[in-house]
Each structure stands twice: as C-alpha cells, then as structure tokens.
Amino acid sequence: MSHSEIIPNHTDAEQIFFDDFKLGELDRTKWNVMITEKVYNNEQQAYIDSPETIYVVAGDQVPGASNGVLIIHPRYRPGFVTADGKTFDFISGRIDTRDKFDFMYGSTAARMMLPSASGLWPAFWMLGYGHWPASGEIDIMEYVGEADWVSAAAHGPGYFGEAGLVNKVYFAGEDDATSWHVYSVDWFPDKIVFKVDGVLIYRVTRPMTDFFGPWVFNDNKFLILNFALGGTYPFKTNGVQTPYYGIPDQTVRMIEKNQIKVAVDWVRVTRSDSTGEI
C-alpha cells in the first residue's frame, strides 16, 4: 500500500472536510491565509499572504503526488517590514480553517513531504477557540528539520511547553520525513491517538492530562498548516544562536537558494461513531 492510499479510519466514515488542492490555487472558501501579528516562540519569520510563500502546483510537478499540491515556501528577504513595522529577514506561510471549518471528534490526516535542514519548523495541527492553552492544542505533526524524526503532542493548561505531552517517532532507513507520509490523529472524547502511515505512534488519554490539568479536547478545533523558521523548538534541538535563533548558516543559504519547501498532497477529516474505534 502506498502512503497515498492510507486512510486512518473506516472506509464507511463520513468525510466532513477534504482538499486535494486541485483548483490550481488555494481554496479560500476553506482556508484563511494568516499574517504575522504577535510573534511566538522567538520564531524568525513573518507570515504573509503572497503567492511567493503559499501556492498550488499540479500533481505531476511533484513526484508521487496526486491531483494538486499545496506548497508552503519560506523565502529569505532581509529587512522585510510588516504592516505594523516589525522587521524580519524571512517570510513564510500559515493557513488555517478558523471560522470556516471546525469539528469535534473524528480523524484528521494530511499527506506531506518535508524538507531536510536544521532549524525548520513546519507543523500540521489543530487549535480550539479562546485563550491558549485553555483552547487546547493537538499537534499532529511537528518537525525541526532532522529528517529521521517528527513529533506529536497535546497541550492544555498545566501541560504545555516543556511540560507538554509529547512523543517522537523515528523513521527507518531512507523512508524518512523527506518522503511522502500520512500524518494523522484519531480524536475521541477521552483519548487522542496519533499515527504515521496508519501506525500508532502515541496516545494521550484523559487520565494522562488530568494528572497535570483539565482535559480541553471536548470542543471544536480548526486545522492549521504552517512553516515557521527557527524559534524555541528548533533551538532546543540544535542549540544554534547565530546567525539566527535556531537557524544555522547552512539552512539560511538553502532558504536563500529556494531549496526549502513543504508539500501537502491532501488534507482530510472524517467522522464516525465518536464512542467507538475509528
């Protein structure tokens, strides 16, 4: 079975969201494009709404893809100034489905291919409404540019940041994060089950969160795809402080040469009986 065929739930489950990017451009009836406001985690990029950083290509332009492919493409733009006067040397992309699509309980999956370079921080995740961390965060896939592993996590009051419930999965051989993989989560009223290519990699249960703080995964969440650069998570892994926090010079040069991109083949959300196994 190819990674494109792996669907992490029953075939009779109801599909409630799907995008395979076949329109040739981002479908803005489904997605919002975010623009940098407050900067979190010492990230080094400005998010902008531009075809430089977020665009769609035909599937035949990316080996192994299907109908269309979303590309999130960070760029090196020294001295870029945002509308509110902040200065960045990198621009990148972040999209979400806030107020356009959200749901509670079900299976969420995306087929993605990631670049390899220290200090990158792309992610596929879900967030609730209201103030964080009480809004609840489900990180289906986070990545800091080391091709042999990705991580998954759940964050809420008392279990976020260094105290988050986090697990890494390591890839075997050459089938690493730079290959196509399906990253998914099955979300139930009392547990969250993370998978890669349909294989269980981590499970967070309500008793696990109750030990630290309240369970905040019983309300609607929306989807997020973003590509951050540098910041706290990459820095904790590589210890790099210059030329940018969490980003070594070699990665800067790769971004400058337009060699760093995330590809997303499709995103799907399905729902079946919320009390049973998906």
150 bridge partner residues: 169
Residues above pLDDT 90, as percent of the chain: 87
CB 73 within 8 A of CB 53: yes
Does the pLDDT at position 4 exceed 80?
no
Q: If you average pLDDT over every residue of the chain, what do you get?
A: 93
pLDDT at 13 (0 to 100): 87
Residue range 211-225, pLDDT digits in tens: 999 999 999 999 999
Contact indicator for 175, 185 with CB cutoff of 8 Å? no
CB 268 within 8 A of CB 111: no
Q: Which sequence spans correspond to the domains of the chain?
A: 3-271
Backbone angles phi, psi at 188, to 5 degrees: -120, 170
Q: What is the CATH number of domain 3-271?
A: 2.60.120.200
The pLDDT-based confidence of 44 (bands split at 50, 70, 90) is very high
How far does the chain reach from its first CA to its final CA, in angstroms? Answer: 19
Q: The pTM is what?
A: 0.94
pLDDT tens for 89-115 read 999 999 999 999 999 999 999 999 999
H-assigned helices in the chain: 206-210, 232-238, 249-256
CA-to-CA distance for 227 and 236, rounded, in angstroms? Answer: 17
